[in-house]
A and B are shown apart, each in its own frame.
Chain A
């Protein structure tokens, strides 16, 4: 399961406007044992990742014989070896991934905000019905669409291009983000909008000048989650990117695993690290929005 469980930011409308619970007064002292447990659990959970990080810096022979986390013998050659192990230098695959990710992020930001605004703020016939349709698409497994999508793109000679991956994002097919935007827009006070409308502003102006600027947290959340999910997306990239020249990071890593036959773990781990780094960085700097995004759509 992927971390798309964050979709469950969809908390139902608990219309309670009661005060959010504060930390309780008179808390139990001596919580040190809790910290011990939590830190131990954290360490156990992250140990494999830490081990991988340290193995990337060890020479191959030492990876299994030297089990400590700090390498006794530092070896940076794994990175160079791994970088050039495949048909193209690894940077080519990173660039491909970046293109797909950038396209997806921009696509989602544009199309999902537009659709979200329409569902949240515009009154039109059948709005509820269309909204229900959109929510239903959230539950459709991609697998029931993938074969005809493949045929369709194949006939348009668009297999092994980035189009099949980016086009759906430009067309708001990620119902989750449409829903995120709908929830967010609904939570914004209507006064600003009404004032603007009385001023004679059209929907375009309201959307661009009022709604979007106020929606930065939701935009950030959308961008970050799209980044992470697209960067990690394996299935769709596996189906549509068939040759090494267009392949992305997940595909390259998988080819690497197949090709090395278990002999060069060092370079495999080095490259794994390289592929995880962007996610980690986004996590580090985007944490605020990740958590806020969940909280924002949840509370209210």
Chain B
């Protein structure tokens, strides 16, 4: 009885070699580089959202930080806004929370209360030069869960070139009403060539709706964390949007609903107005090729609905093994003029006065007008909205979805208001 033949010996050898190679690969793949310290260097992770242009600037900011802190390496992770929260949730679930991350109003309360974010008030991060009212926005239940990167206001971004081409005067933004807004939008569309509209879909954003509510003395959330508004206002909000669409002021739903801001008609120079964040002035001007301007939101009621909102916060994970390094990064990011100069007003008007003073002279004319706009509003703006309860992150998606359904005429504005309330209640409840 002979042993195996040569060919089967070779065969077994090959299998053995491949399996070993696989095992080695598998083991190599197993080892996670979890921000370990090698060569005395610490590695921390930093997660943000944004376009690829922002990512490039973030990398530059990171380079600046690493130059000033040679013993710390920063590993950047990023996602588009739409996927950011899913990704962050998965990281948290996998026990793999980024050391430093961007946070936002709708989510920071949730993450903070669940013990995922560190209390930055108890650290050595220098917040002395940051506007205290702005800073207060990141404070929940006495803990500072994030440092705001800058302030932002929900306003109307307008394209003067399209106004001029349509022969419509720019409105007086201290006195214009919602009816004026509708009329102007319709007029612009009428007087413009095909494919140019008065405004982008304005009703998609629940923070815009918040402005509307505040104009009526109400708030999206009441102090106890439940929903705090009258359904009739939401119905009005949707109805106006639907009317705009039917009368031509807004593009048909399939051309503007659900699009990324940088893909939407205002960014393509096809809409004269859009209801969005003041910090988007720069990116939208760049995308549309025109010098856009900021206008105060229209209002029927005397009390202004606008409010300062931090563009985003920078937060630290409560479970980080590198808290010191993480805090240093946060400190550097919000307090360093050179970093501010990279982003100008993209992350909001810098909250740190020193950074702001360094940034303002560098602004383009349009951006400076935008910055002046924001600072000029401090007389106008007297209060902040109530803190957002847990689950507020879902509200934005709910609003977008219900808004889509209204604009595609699958449900009426009244049904939309009811549906929104229903889904919102189960989200925060």
Contacts and interface: CB of A to CB of B under 8 A. Distances in A.
A61 to B, nearest CB: 14
A163 B29 contact: yes
B143 to A, nearest CB: 28
Given A103-B26, A161-B29, A208-B8, A242 B96 contact: yes
B355 to A, nearest CB: 27
Contact of A154 (B11, B29, B55, B95): B95
Looking at chain B's contact residues, is the secondary structure mostly helix, strand, loop, or mixed? Answer: helix
Contacts of B18: 106
Contacts, number: 74
B173 interface: no
B4 A154 contact: no
Band of interface residues on A: 20 to 34
Interface string A87-108: 1000000000001001100110
B426 interface: no
Contact of B26 (A166, A212, A261, A262): A166
Contacts of B90: 242
A107 B51 CA distance: 39
Contacts of A242: 87, 90-91, 94, 96
Contacts of A162: 25-26, 29
A62 interface: no
A55 interface: no
A85 interface: yes
B262 A261 contact: yes
- Among B18, B29, B51, B79, the most chain A Cβ lie within 10 Å of the Cβ of B29
Interface string B1-27: 100110110011001001100100110
A259 B5 CA distance: 56
B83 interface: yes
Contacts of B91: 242
A284 B96 CA distance: 42
A243 interface: yes
Contacts of A208: 4, 8, 11-12
Interface string A247-265: 0000000010011111000
- Among B12, B18, B79, B94, the most chain A Cβ lie within 10 Å of the Cβ of B94
A262 B30 contact: no
- Among A107, A154, A260, the most chain B Cβ lie within 10 Å of the Cβ of A154
B8 to A, nearest CB: 5
B342 to A, nearest CB: 19
B29 A212 contact: no
Contacts of B82: 258
Contacts of B79: 255, 258
A118 B29 CA distance: 32
Nearest to B82: A258
B26 to A, nearest CB: 6
Interface in B326-379: none
A246 B51 CA distance: 21
Contacts of A106: 18-19, 22
Interface of B: 1, 4-5, 7-8, 11-12, 15, 18-19, 22, 25-26, 29-30, 32, 51-52, 55, 76-77, 79-80, 82-83, 87, 90-91, 93-96, 260, 262-263
In the A-B complex, the 8 residue pairs with the closest CB atoms: A162-B29, A258-B80, A161-B29, A159-B94, A209-B8, A208-B8, A259-B52, A261-B262
Given A99-B29, A158-B30, 15 more contacts: A106-B19, A159-B94, A160-B32, A161-B29, A162-B25, A162-B26, A163-B30, A208-B4, A208-B11, A242-B90, A244-B77, A255-B79, A258-B80, A259-B51, A261-B262
